Structure 1
Amino acid sequence: MKHLLILLFLSIINISCAQEKNQRLILGEKYAKEVLEETLKNNKVHNVIDNKTPIIKNDSTAIKVAESILFEIYGENNIIKQKPYEIYKIESYYVISGTLPKNYVGGTFLIIINSFNSEIIRITHGK
């Protein structure tokens, strides 16, 4: 009987915890505006971006960042056709461009991303 009561008690706790996990706390637009204003006024607030440690640490992350932007600008099919990409990390920048098949006439994209803060410093597409 004692074990049955303990089992029942644990089951009730488990169900109650599962319900709490499914609920989400929404902070709201007002909070978002306050955080944005604070950050714009004081760039010394807690921030992972410190310009001392890269936040883009490898080629695959740089490509994901580049593709998410390039797909919106030039279309996903257009960019995917330019695989394999050329990617070079030069100093703290990723320089990424598309490639074309030999004897193909046309242009490719070029994007340059700062690895420390993900800033896009150049986007272009040849013709």
Structure 2
Amino acid sequence: MKKLQLLLFLLLVSINWHCQSKHTNLGEEYARKFLADVQQGKGSLLSQVIPIVRDKETAIAIAEAVLFKIYGKDQIIKQRPYEVYQIENHWVLFGMLPEDTKGGVFEIAIDAQDGRIVGLIHGK
């Protein structure tokens, strides 16, 4: 039994080492070249063919990632459930507050093609 356990352990260690050894960093220089190529319009941009933000859940995830950093997670979560609308090539989201609650809500617009935030405000 101990021999089998040792054999399994060695096999797992070998597999782990093998998997780790196949990863290669492309490096910052490659990242700079890739960015320059993209900025010059070289290569295929998938977002020109297929919208990156294709569903409500992705729009909410993008909005929350931005809003949590700016306004704080607790502040934004209080505004759930959100109003979410897909209008043309954009997602428009609004926070909601319970009735008889004072304060403003966030308003955010996201470009469905590339995920850019094209508008963002928070009322008072």
> Aligned Cα RMSD in Å?
2.0
Counterpart in the other structure of 2:26:
27
Identical-residue share of aligned pairs (%): 38
**What is the one-letter code of the residue matched to 1:21?**
C
The higher radius of gyration belongs to 1
> How many aligned positions are there?
115
Deviation at 1:13, TM superposition (A): 9.2
Distance between the aligned counterparts of 1:114 and 1:18, measured in 2?
41
Tell me the TM-score normalised to structure 1 length. Answer: 0.81
Counterpart in the other structure of 2:37:
38
**What is the one-letter code of the residue matched to 1:26?**
N
Distance between the aligned counterparts of 2:61 and 2:12, measured in 1?
38
Deviation at 1:83, TM superposition (A): 0.5
Deviation at 1:35, TM superposition (A): 1.0
Distance between the aligned counterparts of 2:55 and 2:63, measured in 1?
12
Distance between the aligned counterparts of 1:17 and 1:46, measured in 2?
35
Unaligned runs of 5+ in 1: 1-11
Distance between the aligned counterparts of 2:100 and 2:11, measured in 1?
68
Counterpart in the other structure of 2:3:
none
Match of 1:100 among 81, 97, 100: 97
Distance between the aligned counterparts of 2:90 and 2:105, measured in 1?
19
